[in-house]
Every structure is written in structure tokens, then in C-alpha cells.
Amino acid sequence: MENAHSVVGLYGWLAVQNSNAGWYSEVWRRSEWPTDRVPKYPAHLNGAVKVIGARYPFAKMSDQEGLNAKLADFAELLYSNGFR
């Protein structure tokens, strides 16, 4: 277990068009949970929702400075991909 480590996943969802999809049953439960920092459009939602995610090593967030840096990185990821 020398290579074991914990990560924190942060995700953002954005409605890009009107939809009657239920948040829990159709968006949250059925959507892909990407971790590669690339926006995805779940096929079952016909382009109505965009989701993006990133993973961060928990060890890099052990103090306020490290936490702030990862949150700033995720905020920039969201902003640069049209999440406003």
C-alpha cells in the first residue's frame, strides 16, 4: 500500500438549455462524473447540461494555503469553460 493516497473530487454542472430533466434522478445520478478537466455533455440529456470535474490530492490541501490554491484552480477551470 505504499502508493495509496486520498483525493478530493470537485464537480460542476451547468444547464446550457431548458430541460425538464429531474436534478437527482436524471442529472446527478445518471451523469458521467469526469475527472479529466474536460467538459462533458451527458448523451441522455441531449446537450442540456454540461458537467466538468477535477481531482486533487488530499495531501496538497492540508493547510489553508494549499486549500485556497486548489479552490482557485477549480474556479479558474469552471470560468475558462463557461461556467458563470
Span 33-44, pLDDT tens digits:
898 999 999 999
Please determine, for residue 1, whether its predicted confidence score (pLDDT) is greater than 70.
no
What is the SS3 string spanning 12-49? EEEECCCCCCCHHHHHHCCCCCCCECCCECCHHHCCCE
Q: Where are the domains of the chain?
A: 7-80
| Between 56 and 3, the higher pLDDT residue | 56
Pairwise CA distance, residues 80 & 52, whole Å: 11
Q: Are strands 49-57 and 7-15 parallel, antiparallel or unpaired?
A: antiparallel
pLDDT value at residue 3: 78
Whose grid coordinates read 469526469?
Answer: 34
Q: Which cell numbers hold the place of 61? A: 490541501
The model carries a pTM of 0.84
